[in-house]
Amino acid sequence: MKLGYARVSTSEQVLDLQLDALRQAGCEQVFTDTVSGIKAHKPSWEQLLAYARPGDTVVIWRLDRLGHSTKHLIEVVEDLSRRQLHLISLQDPIDTTSPGGQLVFQIFCALAEHERNVLVQRTRAGLQAARARGRQGGRPPGLAPRYQKVAPAVKELYEAGQQSTRQLMAYFQIGSRRTLYKILRFAGCQINDTPGAPAPAAAGNLDS
Answer yes or no: 36 catalytic.
Answer: no
Q: Pairing state of beta strands 57-60 and 86-89?
A: parallel
Indicate which residue of 9, 36, 164, 176 is catalytic: 9
On whether the CB atoms of residues 37 and 67 are closer than 8 A, the answer is yes
Q: Cα 28 vs. chain centroid, distance in angstroms?
A: 27
Q: What is the three-class DSSP state of 66?
A: coil
Q: How far apart are CA 52 and CA 121, in angstroms?
A: 35
Across the chain, the runs of DSSP E, i.e. the strands, are: 2-8, 29-34, 57-60, 86-89, 94-95
Q: Calculate Rg over the CA atoms of the chain.
A: 19
Considering only CA atoms, which of 165, 164, 157 is closest in space to residue 187?
157
Q: Pairing state of beta strands 94-95 and 86-89?
A: antiparallel
Q: How far apart are CA 133 and CA 148, in angstroms?
A: 22
Q: Which residues are catalytic?
A: 9
